Structure 1
Amino acid sequence: MPQRDELLTEIAPTGVIRAAVNMSNAALVQLDPVTGTLTGSSAKIAVALAAELDCGLSLVRYGSAADILAAAEGDEWDVAFIASDPSRADRFSFSPPYTRVTASFLVPDSSPLDSLEHVDVEGVRIAAARNAAYTKQLERQVKNAIVLHTENPASALGMLVSSECDAAAGLTESLSRFCEENPGFRVVEGPFSEVPQAIAVHRSCVRASTFLSNFIEQHCSAGNDVNPEFG
């Protein structure tokens, strides 16, 4: 591989690729309770990336995308599996999306909110994680509802459970799992956004950015993309 050594100084400066994964994004990464290993499309692509570069891999677990972003300047990770969003483009370069996930609203079963149009009305309070990419999209979309920022997705769900808001925004996959474990809630039909998932590196990592763009394009064109919404 041409200039492999130069590339590794950006993508694996410690000799191992430290790949940040968002453990709250159940659509993309899960912990196997039996083996203790990480599974899901983010983990699979990270493994493929390490194999491509013939390099070691360390999957660094974070509780939310906000935690990954907060650790960006702390030399804790080299690449991050997070959503690409314009609000993050000043700090990171993103590969093309390797998949997309949807975001929806969660409401109590008794709620009169039964469509996306009903959610965006005056007086409706929507709890959403402050630094989540879907929250950035939500803020650009809503015209009448009030967006209440929380520290993480779990806090948004907590506000809904305690009746501090009328709806909670979150990834559809995660909200569906919450409903299975917590009767009395439902997901409003239809997602309000589709969030592209990509591999991020610091903007200063020019070689790594170019390499990751080519890597993802080749990976997806080979039929390896996994849409987590459909298995």
Structure 2
Amino acid sequence: MSLDPSVVTAFTPTGTLRASINLGNPILANKDAQTGQPFGVSVDLAREFAKRLGVDIELVVFDAAGKSVEAVTEERADIGFFAVDRLRGAGITFTAPYVLIEGFYLVRNESQVRNNADVDHEINRVAVGKGSAYDLFLTRELKHARIVRAPTSPTVVRTFMEQGLEIAAGVKQQLEADCLVTPGLRLLDECFMVIQQAMGMPRSRGETAGNYLRGFVEEMKASGFVAESLTRHGILGASVAPAA
């Protein structure tokens, strides 16, 4: 892609590319237990984008999606990695998605909730990560069940267990991992939403910069960069999004 110098300026008002990284979604980013450094497909994309711009990068790391979104919306970060949502779109310019992720419900083995249609009833309380894509989606979609917000997506099952809630909602892979360490839980048989994970930037940075970021994402999908990154980090269950 040709690079207009004004694009570099739009993405690096401080002289460094500040990339917002959300550790609340283990499909996109995790923290190395020994070094404390973040790694994952979003980190790989951020570093490659900085390389394309020819600038240094600063990873601005958060433990929850809502905090990561705020950092970009408030221009404390220049790019980020988010689930596409119309509410977030008020302050963020999104690319097309680069990864598709399934959202699932989790219940106790003895629960009478057997399928997704059983969830939206007044007797049910659903744990979600505060500010996550699941929170935004279910807040709009659930008319009767009550939403209980955990501090972050990785703490959803802990909140579900500690408060004796009926249902937990989140990333399929995170819930499956929680089932391995907490006996007596099961996932329902089908996803309730497919999340479109995209790159984003502050809307104020302009259309030219937005088009450059969109082109970057399409190239990363088409070249196999995203697929290779998912494989290298051992991510299962997420798929590369189709070309826009």
Q: Same fold (TM over 0.5)?
A: yes
Aligned to 1:209: 210
Once the two structures are TM-superposed, the CA of residue 87 in structure 1 deviates from its matched residue by 1.0
Once the two structures are TM-superposed, the CA of residue 52 in structure 1 deviates from its matched residue by 1.5
Structure 1 letter corresponding to 2:222: S
Aligned to 1:224: 225
Once the two structures are TM-superposed, the CA of residue 19 in structure 1 deviates from its matched residue by 0.6
Indicate conservation of the 8 Å contact 2:101/2:237, yes or no.
no
Structure 1 residues not aligned, in runs of 5+:
none
Q: 2 CA distance for matches of 1:194 and 1:74?
A: 27
Moved more, 67-76 or 111-120: 67-76
Once the two structures are TM-superposed, the CA of residue 142 in structure 1 deviates from its matched residue by 2.7
Instruction: List aligned pairs for 1:150-189, cutoff 5 A.
Output: 150-189=150-189
Once the two structures are TM-superposed, the CA of residue 205 in structure 1 deviates from its matched residue by 0.9
Indicate conservation of the 8 Å contact 1:19/1:58, yes or no.
yes
Aligned to 2:193: 193
TM-score (norm 1): 0.89
Once the two structures are TM-superposed, the CA of residue 134 in structure 1 deviates from its matched residue by 1.8
Instruction: List aligned pairs for 1:120-135, cutoff 5 A.
Output: 120-135=120-135
Once the two structures are TM-superposed, the CA of residue 35 in structure 1 deviates from its matched residue by 4.8
TM-score (norm 2): 0.84
Q: Does 2:56 match 1:49?
A: no
Moved more, 121-130 or 151-160: 151-160
Specify the SS of the correspondent of 1:93. strand
Once the two structures are TM-superposed, the CA of residue 200 in structure 1 deviates from its matched residue by 1.1
Indicate conservation of the 8 Å contact 1:138/1:192, yes or no.
no
Pairwise CA RMSD? 2.1
Aligned to 1:110: 110
Specify the SS of the correspondent of 1:89. helix
Moved more, 89-98 or 215-224: 215-224
Moved more, 55-64 or 180-189: 180-189
Indicate conservation of the 8 Å contact 2:20/2:71, yes or no.
no
Specify the SS of the correspondent of 1:179. helix
Indicate conservation of the 8 Å contact 1:106/1:186, yes or no.
yes
Specify the SS of the correspondent of 2:18. strand
Against the structure 1 CA distance between its residues 154 and 219, is the aligned structure 2 distance closer, same or farther, given a 3 Å change threshold? closer
Structure 2 letter corresponding to 1:222: S
Aligned to 1:24: 24
Q: 2 CA distance for matches of 1:151 and 1:29?
A: 18
Q: 1 CA distance for matches of 2:159 and 2:150?
A: 9
Q: 2 CA distance for matches of 1:32 and 1:208?
A: 32
Aligned to 1:71: 71
Indicate conservation of the 8 Å contact 1:107/1:160, yes or no.
no
Structure 2 letter corresponding to 1:115: N
Aligned to 2:241: none
Structure 2 letter corresponding to 1:20: S
Once the two structures are TM-superposed, the CA of residue 170 in structure 1 deviates from its matched residue by 1.2
Specify the SS of the correspondent of 1:99. strand
Once the two structures are TM-superposed, the CA of residue 34 in structure 1 deviates from its matched residue by 4.2
Deviations 1:134-174 (A, max 9, x none): 22222333344222334432553333112442111111111
Indicate conservation of the 8 Å contact 2:154/2:174, yes or no.
no
The count of residues paired between Structure 1 and Structure 2 equals 230
Against the structure 1 CA distance between its residues 230 and 169, is the aligned structure 2 distance closer, same or farther, given a 3 Å change threshold? closer
Structure 1 letter corresponding to 2:180: E
Deviations 1:29-76 (A, max 9, x none): 122334544322111111221121222122211010111133346543
Q: 2 CA distance for matches of 1:229 and 1:100?
A: 11
Q: 1 CA distance for matches of 2:237 and 2:186?
A: 19
